[in-house]
Chain A
Amino acid sequence: MESVLGRYRNLTILVGVLFLQVLGLAIQVKRSADAENTRLIRIWAVSAITPFERGLVWAQHGGGNLWRNYCFLRGVRAENRQLKEEIERMRLEQVRLSEDAAQAHRLQSLLAFKEQVIAKTVPAQVIGSSASDLSRSIYIDKGSNHGIAQDMAVITAGGIVGKVLRVYPSTSLVLMINDQSSGVGVLLEKSRLQGVLRGTPNGELILERVMSDEQVVPGETVQSSGGDQIFPKGLPVGTVSKVSPGREMFLSIKVKPAADLSRLEEVLVVTEKQEREPVAESGGRARAADILAQRLPSVPDKPATVVGAAPEGSTGSGVTGEGSSASAKPHPNGAGQPGTETGTKLAGGAPAASAPAGSNAASPGAAHSVVVAGPSATGEVLTKVAQKGASGDSGSKSGAGSAAGSKAPVSAASNSASNSASNPTSNPTSNPASNSANSPAKASTRRLKLSGPQGNPQPAATEDNPH
């Protein structure tokens, strides 16, 4: 026996070492429910590697910041201008979206839906990866000391990244969504089809469990469905890049991740989620037209021109229509165009109510031009607004709704435009002259209050945005 072992000493040791490792592996697999088994040994390894990674990341960022913030500032002025234009565009978009969101909230509250929202996040820096091509995971520089726990969602501004797999005192291991062992419950934004997103050996994302008879087109947005209890519903995941027949009766849908998973530097760990019932604005019976009206700028102090020119309804439409067109269909650049100048200026004025005062408030001249140029084009816009309002409400209220819709914009528009016209800071209390001058507008405000509970125009930044 001894001679046999001596003769095959190398082989015996190989078998012994392999046996020990297989045994260790078997123990881990058997006790996989208890993740603490291998904790200590992993902590040692991670503690040995991550300080160097932290140091390198720190040095790299320090050098990079020094270069970017002090040495390389070329093009900042142009970029700043571009960003300001972008902000203007976003504000216009926000006005439109917040209306939709408010409407969705109202509907959700009517149906007593619960929504899950991200209550708290912890920013973290990516310091390393798992040292393996066969797994897609990263290390972040925040751990249990910073409130990180297992199975927390990790996201970026672009989209979801993965979930926290293991937590150490000052670092955490994040399993990315393109790992082969990960799975994320997702749904397609337009078709609302649900599926499971998995990683491939190449680090790509495949959407599984979508039947082959469904219509999925490249370019469609993929969102988290919330079904995995890790990622809140509605977070961007990616876009469909390729659709092909898959195994059995399912489609193989390739998804391009929304977050750049190969170049992650900073991420957010969702440390707290809240489940709450959606809160509708002002009691849950607001109408889209009313919300629009609250955001509209108002007419200047020329009541005779407006009211005297036509009956009340058409007067309202003359003013409101312009404002509505500006809000409902904002010009993408936020800049004046021939034929739409008044609308554009109003659109600039609309966000002034929901944005820092005077950011782009309409000048008196601009507001005045609305009144003069308005009536012909604005009637149909009002009709659209009224239709939109009516369609957002129940059918039984359509008659009253349209009436309120035609009145509400008048009052709100009148108030806010006169304020912005007479006072660029849009502060109604600081300029009593303008307030005293627009008494007809106030009268219509009173009428609006009588006609519906949502007629109280309150243009404020926080109230405009239900979020």
Chain B
Amino acid sequence: MPITYTSGEQIEVYRFSIPVTVGVPLLALFLQAFLPRRFPFFSIFDLPLLVTIFFAMARRNPISGLLTGAAIGLVQDMLGPYPIGLYGIAKTVVGYGASSLGAKLDVENAGARLLVTLGFYLVHAAVYFMVARGMVNLTLDWSWSHGILAGLANAVLGVGLYFALDKFKQRT
């Protein structure tokens, strides 16, 4: 059973040390900025998004999740060419959604994580494009084939990444 509906009491809430809380998102941002120049295929991944989803689902606190997403998204915006706030808004929504989902569903197994990551990747892209086109008037085109492919690639990478990051979890 990939996704189990449970009560809040049955789900464990985790926390992370400060170095992990700060270091992992910064490392994700750094790798996202650095690796695509060396390995062009890597640009299809969105490591900051995966980290946002992971922390949000692990903490299971919507406020913490949305603030984490906002912070990571805004820093990602600062490194890019477009106005600041596009990724911030998209990742805020994703952080809130992932933590809300994590509070209601048990998403500890690989299948659930795969589906959740794919879903949130598409949500993230939808919000980003909506804001980019509606507010900033950027002429961005959405490619379904590229979007689905990137979503699947991120979901697969996310499953592996989440299991690696699980080691930093601390029980409350």
Interface residues in chain A, defined as those with a beta carbon under 8 Å from any beta carbon in chain B? 9-10, 13-14, 17-18, 21-22, 24-26, 28-29, 32, 38, 41-42, 44-46, 48-49, 52-53, 56, 60, 126-135, 137-139, 165-166, 173, 175, 179-181, 200-203, 262-264
Nearest first, the 3 A-B pairs at minimum CB distance are A45-B78, A262-B40, A25-B85
Answer yes or no: B102 CB below 8 A from chain A CBs.
Answer: no
Chain A, Cβ-Cβ closest to B63? A13
Measured between beta carbons, the chain B residues less than 8 angstroms from A127 are 34, 37
Answer yes or no: B84 CB below 8 A from chain A CBs.
Answer: yes
Are A130 and B79 touching (Cβ within 8 A)? yes
Q: How far in angstroms is the closest Cβ of chain B from A374?
A: 56
Are B85 and A22 touching (Cβ within 8 A)? yes
Given known contacts A14-B66, A17-B70, A49 and B40 CB-to-CB distance under 8 angstroms: no
Are A25 and B86 touching (Cβ within 8 A)? yes
Partner of A180, one of B29, B40, B92, B140: B140
Given known contacts A129-B33, A131-B32, A131-B48, A17 and B66 CB-to-CB distance under 8 angstroms: yes
Of B75, B79, B136, chain A has the most CB atoms within 10 Å of the CB of B79
Are B84 and A25 touching (Cβ within 8 A)? yes
Measured between beta carbons, the chain B residues less than 8 angstroms from A165 are 81
- The stretch of B3-11, B111-119, B142-150, B158-166 in contact with A is B142-150
B121-152 interface (Cβ within 8 A of A): 128, 131, 135-143, 146, 150
Answer yes or no: B45 CB below 8 A from chain A CBs.
Answer: yes
Partner of B136, one of A29, A45, A133: A29
Q: How distant is the Cα of A44 from the Cα of B78 in the complex, in angstroms?
A: 9
Measured between beta carbons, the chain B residues less than 8 angstroms from A49 are 29-30, 33, 79
Partner of A135, one of B62, B80, B93: B80
Partner of B79, one of A22, A131, A202: A131
Answer yes or no: B56 CB below 8 A from chain A CBs.
Answer: no
Are A128 and B37 touching (Cβ within 8 A)? yes
Are B143 and A53 touching (Cβ within 8 A)? no
Given known contacts A129-B37, A133-B46, A139-B33, A46 and B66 CB-to-CB distance under 8 angstroms: no
Are B139 and A52 touching (Cβ within 8 A)? no
Are B139 and A181 touching (Cβ within 8 A)? yes
Answer yes or no: B87 CB below 8 A from chain A CBs.
Answer: yes
Chain B, Cβ-Cβ closest to A38? B84
Given contacts A18-B93, A60-B38, A263-B40, 14 further A-B pairs with CB under 8 A are: A13-B63, A21-B88, A22-B131, A38-B83, A46-B78, A52-B34, A56-B34, A128-B37, A131-B48, A132-B79, A132-B87, A133-B150, A180-B139, A181-B139
Q: How far in angstroms is the closest Cβ of chain B from A457?
A: 52
Measured between beta carbons, the chain B residues less than 8 angstroms from A131 are 29, 32-33, 48, 76, 79-80
Answer yes or no: B170 CB below 8 A from chain A CBs.
Answer: no
19 residue pairs A–B, Cβ–Cβ below 8 Å = A18-B92, A21-B92, A24-B85, A25-B136, A29-B83, A29-B135, A29-B136, A32-B83, A41-B84, A45-B79, A49-B79, A56-B34, A60-B38, A130-B33, A131-B48, A132-B32, A137-B81, A166-B81, A201-B146
Q: How distant is the Cα of A135 from the Cα of B30 in the complex, in angstroms?
A: 16
Measured between beta carbons, the chain B residues less than 8 angstroms from A28 are 83-85
Measured between beta carbons, the chain A residues less than 8 angstroms from B88 are 21
Q: How far in angstroms is the closest Cβ of chain A from B57?
A: 15
Answer yes or no: B168 CB below 8 A from chain A CBs.
Answer: no
Q: How distant is the Cα of A25 from the Cα of B146 in the complex, in angstroms?
A: 27
- Give B49-82 as 1s and 0s: 1 = Cβ < 8 Å from A's Cβ atoms: 0000000000000110011001000111011111
Given known contacts A18-B92, A24-B85, A132 and B76 CB-to-CB distance under 8 angstroms: yes
Are B78 and A42 touching (Cβ within 8 A)? yes
Q: How far in angstroms is the closest Cβ of chain A from B27?
A: 10
Chain A, Cβ-Cβ closest to B40? A262
Are A14 and B96 touching (Cβ within 8 A)? yes
Q: How far in angstroms is the closest Cβ of chain B from A198?
A: 8
Q: How far in angstroms is the closest Cβ of chain A from B86?
A: 7
Measured between beta carbons, the chain B residues less than 8 angstroms from A14 are 62, 66, 92-93, 96
Q: How distant is the Cα of A29 from the Cα of B136 in the complex, in angstroms?
A: 6
Measured between beta carbons, the chain B residues less than 8 angstroms from A201 are 140-143, 146
Q: How distant is the Cα of A46 from the Cα of B80 in the complex, in angstroms?
A: 10
Measured between beta carbons, the chain B residues less than 8 angstroms from A138 are 37
Chain A, Cβ-Cβ closest to B47? A131
Chain A, Cβ-Cβ closest to B103? A10
Measured between beta carbons, the chain A residues less than 8 angstroms from B135 are 22, 25-26, 29
Q: How distant is the Cα of A49 from the Cα of B45 in the complex, in angstroms?
A: 19
Measured between beta carbons, the chain A residues less than 8 angstroms from B128 are 134
Q: How distant is the Cα of A167 from the Cα of B74 in the complex, in angstroms?
A: 19
Partner of B89, one of A25, A32, A44, A166: A25
- Give B88-110 as 1s and 0s: 1 = Cβ < 8 Å from A's Cβ atoms: 11001100100010000000000
Answer yes or no: B23 CB below 8 A from chain A CBs.
Answer: no
Answer yes or no: B36 CB below 8 A from chain A CBs.
Answer: yes
Given known contacts A25-B131, A53-B33, A202 and B83 CB-to-CB distance under 8 angstroms: no
Q: How distant is the Cα of A14 from the Cα of B80 in the complex, in angstroms?
A: 24
Partner of A126, one of B37, B70, B78: B37
Q: How far in angstroms is the closest Cβ of chain B from A143?
A: 15
Q: How distant is the Cα of A38 from the Cα of B80 in the complex, in angstroms?
A: 12
Q: How far in angstroms is the closest Cβ of chain A from B11?
A: 16
Given known contacts A18-B89, A201-B142, A133 and B79 CB-to-CB distance under 8 angstroms: no
Answer yes or no: B21 CB below 8 A from chain A CBs.
Answer: no
Q: How distant is the Cα of A52 from the Cα of B23 in the complex, in angstroms?
A: 14
Are A21 and B33 touching (Cβ within 8 A)? no
Are A134 and B96 touching (Cβ within 8 A)? no
